[in-house]
């Protein structure tokens, strides 16, 4: 026979049942509240910079690298041996064609020139006398011819010695800027001795090679840009001034020459330059900032913004849009497919976005 529970035991079991009911009820309530909250949760809108995809004229170009050279550049040297008598230049001097650079001692040649000029004067006088005698029929034709030959010989002697003197007067063959001299007063120099470098610095030439497949797209006076990376990059605009008449069999490339202005003389022959050869075709392309591009294993994409709300309080959501990327230039890139003119896109701040995320557009935000 089972004995009935006592009153204290019944109360205890009742309290235990109430306790567990409260605990499990509270747990179930929290779970229901959390589920409702997650079902209705909206993450805070991310702040981004937006821009409009614009169509603009886009001109293609060919990249190349080349060497800057002088239109006229030469290392001036001596033709004949001699002793340096006078140096009439300094480093960095701008000089004109025909200006004297260096004089070699020519005392002997000057003395020989006076002797030759005296012989020429005597031969000329003898020839004039002989002409008078021949006119009076006192002298023969052969005697007149002999005097004329002596005169011609004397004149040639004078010109030969003048040429020797001229060889010892070294002058500038063209306008340009002189470099650092490699010669001293009183120094004996041999033929071919380097005196100084003379370079014409404005304009300059730039020589570069292009692959043979671009030959049909090249023409004279075609526009080029040349950029030289000095502490502050310098970009100069020029023209193609020459195209070689054959393709190299070794490199399958063609040699091209361009001309660029250099009025400030900041560029010097021998410098390295990056070249853009602008092609004649011009097309309208969709252009966006390169910062707008995002990358994934499935391809490139851009976040396109769709407006929600009213005009006074616009709200946006960002959606991924697959694109096809074209040429890149500086901070811009062309979009061949997947985007149309006028689309509002995210230009910066897309790293924190998910597909369909709400966004706030802040144009004052720095990229």
CATH of the domain at 141: 1.10.287.470
Domain boundary among 253, 281, 309: 281
Are 275 and 299 found together in one domain? no
Asked, for residue 34, whether it belongs to a domain, the answer is no
Cβ-contact 158, 70 below 8 angstroms: no
Query: Quick one: pLDDT at residue 367?
Result: 47
Asked, for residue 5, whether it belongs to a domain, the answer is no
Q: Domain holding 325: CATH number?
A: 2.40.420.20
Are 207 and 312 found together in one domain? no
Query: Quick one: pLDDT at residue 40?
Result: 55
Give which of 351, 359, 347, 348 is closest to 318, Cα–Cα. Answer: 359
| Beta-carbon contacts of residue 151 (< 8 Å; ≥ 6 apart) | 120, 123, 124, 126, 127
Asked, for residue 215, whether it belongs to a domain, the answer is yes
Radius of gyration of the chain (CA): 45
Domain boundary among 281, 312, 342: 281
Domain boundary among 167, 189, 214: 167
Asked, for residue 37, whether it belongs to a domain, the answer is no
Are 94 and 182 found together in one domain? yes
Query: Quick one: pLDDT at residue 354?
Result: 83
Q: Is 119 helix (H, G, I), strand (E, B) or coil?
A: helix
Are 219 and 307 found together in one domain? no
Query: Quick one: pLDDT at residue 312?
Result: 60
Asked, for residue 288, whether it belongs to a domain, the answer is yes
Domain count, the chain: 4
Domain range enclosing 266: 62-71+201-281
Report how far apart the first and last C-alpha atoms of the chain are (Å, whole number).
87
Asked, for residue 22, whether it belongs to a domain, the answer is no
Are 94 and 192 found together in one domain? yes
Cβ-contact 224, 237 below 8 angstroms: yes
Q: Give the residues of the chain that fall short of pLDDT 50.
A: 1, 365-367
H/E element, 8: helix 7-39
Q: Domain holding 248: CATH number?
A: 2.40.30.170
Are 248 and 163 found together in one domain? no
Strand 357-361 to 314-322 pairing: antiparallel
Structure tokens at 337: 């497919």
Query: Quick one: pLDDT at residue 141?
Result: 86
Give which of 51, 50, 48, 60 is closest to 334, Cα–Cα. Answer: 60
Are 97 and 177 found together in one domain? yes
Q: Domain holding 78: CATH number?
A: 2.40.50.100
Query: Quick one: pLDDT at residue 130?
Result: 85
Are 338 and 247 found together in one domain? no
Are 227 and 276 found together in one domain? yes
């Amino acid at each position: 026979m089972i004995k009935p529970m006592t009153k204290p035991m019944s109360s205890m079991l009742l309290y235990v049942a109430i306790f567990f009911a409260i605990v499990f009820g509270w747990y179930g309530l929290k779970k229901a509240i959390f589920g409702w909250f997650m079902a209705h949760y909206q993450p805070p809108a991310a702040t981004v910079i937006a821009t409009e995809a614009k169509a603009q004229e886009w001109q293609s170009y060919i990249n190349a690298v080349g060497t800057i050279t002088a239109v006229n550049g030469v290392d001036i040297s001596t033709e004949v041996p001699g002793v340096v008598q006078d140096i009439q230049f300094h480093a960095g001097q701008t000089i004109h064609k025909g200006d004297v650079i260096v004089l070699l001692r020519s005392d002997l040649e000057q003395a020989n020139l006076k002797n030759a000029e005296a012989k020429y004067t005597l031969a000329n006088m003898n020839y004039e006398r002989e002409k008078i005698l021949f006119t009076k029929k006192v002298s023969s034709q052969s005697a007149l011819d002999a005097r004329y030959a002596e005169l011609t010989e004397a004149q040639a002697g004078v010109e030969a010695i003048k040429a020797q003197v001229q060889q010892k007067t070294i002058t500038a063959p063209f306008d340009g800027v002189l470099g650092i001299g490699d010669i001293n007063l009183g120094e004996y120099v041999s033929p071919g001795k380097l005196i100084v470098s003379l370079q014409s610095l404005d304009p300059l030439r730039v020589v570069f090679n292009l692959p043979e497949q671009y030959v049909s797209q090249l023409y004279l006076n075609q526009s080029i840009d040349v950029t030289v990376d000095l502490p502050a990059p310098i970009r100069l605009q020029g023209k193609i001034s020459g195209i070689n008449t054959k393709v190299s069999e070794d490199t399958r490339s063609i040699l091209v020459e361009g001309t660029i202005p250099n009025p400030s003389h900041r560029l010097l022959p021998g410098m390295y330059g990056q070249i853009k050869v602008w092609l004649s075709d011009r097309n309208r392309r969709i252009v966006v900032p390169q910062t707008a591009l995002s990358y994934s294993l499935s391809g490139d994409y851009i976040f396109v913004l769709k407006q929600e709300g009213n005009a006074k309080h616009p709200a946006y959501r960002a959606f991924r849009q697959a694109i096809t990327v074209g040429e890149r230039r500086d901070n811009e890139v062309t979009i061949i497919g997947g985007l149309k003119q006028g689309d509002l896109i995210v230009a910066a701040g897309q790293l924190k976005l998910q597909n369909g995320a709400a966004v706030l557009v802040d144009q004052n935000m720095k990229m």
